Structure formats: C-alpha cells, structure tokens
C-alpha cells in the first residue's frame, strides 16, 4: 500500500515537473493579411483568351496592391 502511494506520488511529481518545465511558445500574432479575394467578373473571348470588366480589373489591382502592402509589413 505504501509502495503504491509512493509510486503514484512519484508519477504525479514527474508529470507536474514535466508540465511546468515545458517551453512555452510565444503567441503568434493574428495574421494581418487576412485579405478577402475579390469577386472578379471576366469573360472568355472566341480565341481562347479572357478579358476583365473595368470593375473586375480595378478590384484585381486593388487586391494586388493590398497583398503587396501586407507582404512588405512582414
């Protein structure tokens, strides 16, 4: 009985020491680059190419600009 108690206390001590001595990783900052991809309207041409509407092209350029700013902040 005494041996079991000592064994359980030893195991509990090892677990507690192990938990307190574990390296704590620093919290990662929230991703400032959570950009929502734009909804881009585009059409296919008869020769297999595509073209963007004026609004779609503007949305794409704004997204690329925001993405560039995000990458430069890191």
DSSP-derived secondary structure letter, 46: T
pLDDT band, very low/low/confident/very high, at 47 (cuts 50, 70, 90)? very high
**Predicted structure pTM score:** 0.49
Overall domain count for the chain? 1
Residue 61, domain member (yes or no): yes
Q: Chain-wide mean pLDDT for the chain?
A: 75
What is the domain extent for residue 64?
Answer: 34-74
Residue 71, domain member (yes or no): yes
Residue 18, domain member (yes or no): no
Which has more pLDDT, 28 or 68? 68
Residue 2, domain member (yes or no): no
Residue 14, domain member (yes or no): no
């Amino acid at each position: 009985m005494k041996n079991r108690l000592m064994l359980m206390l030893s195991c509990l001590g090892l677990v507690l020491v192990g938990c307190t001595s574990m390296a704590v990783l620093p919290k990662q900052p929230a991703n400032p680059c959570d950009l929502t991809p734009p909804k881009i309207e585009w059409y296919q041409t008869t020769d297999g190419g595509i073209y963007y509407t004026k609004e779609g092209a503007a949305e794409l350029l704004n997204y690329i600009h925001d993405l560039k700013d995000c990458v430069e902040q890191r």
